[in-house]
A and B are shown apart, each in its own frame.
Chain A
């Protein structure tokens, strides 16, 4: 392909071809092989310390130098999270308990809110004002479907 011809053809696109390497594939080697000394003993940054409970993947022997220490596990969801971290990132026993913990954690969140005298405003938290403004019909459909399903389930339970 003629370089100059092509450049001419694409003048309407600012920067066309500026990062092209006419000889090379791939454009960028994703590993800088020269920088890889194949060892795990780089000069580590200072170690962060904490008095909080911080989970650690069992695929590493110690904490990294820096870590996030927000939201230590609590309650039932916390037990599940601790359990999950006994298993590697390769195991369903790691991920499924974590997903379950997330769902339980939501309920725990509502209970904590109510206990502190705060009733979460679900309409507001779900940003339904935006829906109401821009796609009212879809919102009404959504709410109607949820209501219909809930009533249906409730009637089924009552019939038993």
Chain B
């Protein structure tokens, strides 16, 4: 089968790989019909995540058709069209039972801090991902969810990560009716977070980024205010000024370790790797939130350390909530929102590529060329 093959930072290609096999009675093999590239993949692509082995296949956002199931699989069957949450979760451990599917303890041998994730380096378990024609899907009765016949495939595709992550970002913000919410990052995740903040009763939603085309998009898509941090001397001061000098009730970091905007963070975090990526957005979020406010972090950081003003977290009495998204927990509610037309995630897709053109797709999304917001890959077997 054809699969994406990582050759080192900024170098990827498509190659033949052996077909994935059932390795556990609860495994299934899924034939991929659509897969996305995610901002999280960019951290791998940029070589910032330790233990990203040469030859890995990335891809944690995909939908497809079940082609084979193990002897222990009872809920999905061959031929089912499924969306596959990015978390690999057993559904039985103490964490899964609490709805923390992203923190499953039975799916990742290589690190205890996070559960297994498809195609996300050996830190996240050493599983191959869905930027391929076929993929091994463990715990097939837990994650994979049948796509209802009235749902658009591309809406289903964005339910594997992006929409739930934007939603969980807003949810973890503990938004109360009347709150002002600032979202850092107008990528797919930030756009969804801004859109979802309204569902919790926010009365003002502000997005910060530096890419004009994304700011313009989010203004339309999420009906919010959007500002370019390149046009401000000091983004924190700017936010204070437009929030009665008190700060936002809730700040959301939807940027993560690939942030720009602060030379010191960029040099120490992205060039010298002295910290686990640049924590610029998180720094701004902590300093721009109101005293007693909440900072919600969905931006991804590496496993070592980052420079953030922890003293201000103490002095301002801030609550920080953060996690990888527990997609399965949110699916029933979000599928309902999508089917009722409250949310339309597929509208953020801007580019579609054949799987073979993966190198161009990565470069385009990484360098933000041609006003790219969300790229989708289509294996040639599934036009």
Contact = CB atoms under 8 A, between A and B. Distances in A.
A69 B24 CA distance: 12
B125 A67 contact: yes
Nearest to A58: B112
A41 to B, nearest CB: 9
A131 B372 CA distance: 12
Contacts, number: 246
Contacts of A17: 177, 198-201
Interface residues of B, number: 81
Interface residues of A, number: 84
Interface string B165-198: 0000001111111100000000000000000001
A122 interface: yes
Contact of B92 (A28, A45, A120, A131): A45
Interface string A85-121: 1000100100100110111011011100000000011
Given A17-B177, A69-B23, A124 B367 contact: no
A57 B112 contact: yes
Given A30-B172, A48-B24, A124-B13, A68 B127 contact: yes
Nearest to B322: A30
A142 to B, nearest CB: 10
Nearest to B294: A26
A56 B109 contact: yes
Q: Is the interface of B mostly helix, strand, loop or mixed?
A: loop
A15 B343 contact: yes
A109 B55 contact: yes
A134 B369 contact: yes
A133 B357 CA distance: 14
B359 A63 contact: no
B361 A127 contact: yes
B308 interface: no
Interface of A: 1, 3, 6, 9-10, 12-20, 22, 25-28, 30-33, 35-40, 42-46, 48, 50, 54-57, 59-60, 63-71, 73, 77, 81, 84-85, 89, 92, 95, 98-99, 101-103, 105-106, 108-110, 120-122, 124-131, 133-135, 138
12 contacts: A6-B201, A9-B203, A18-B337, A27-B174, A30-B321, A46-B26, A57-B109, A65-B90, A67-B107, A89-B303, A102-B50, A130-B361
Given A39-B94, A120-B7, 13 more contacts: A15-B343, A17-B198, A20-B201, A40-B94, A45-B24, A64-B108, A69-B23, A71-B126, A106-B11, A109-B8, A126-B11, A127-B12, A134-B369
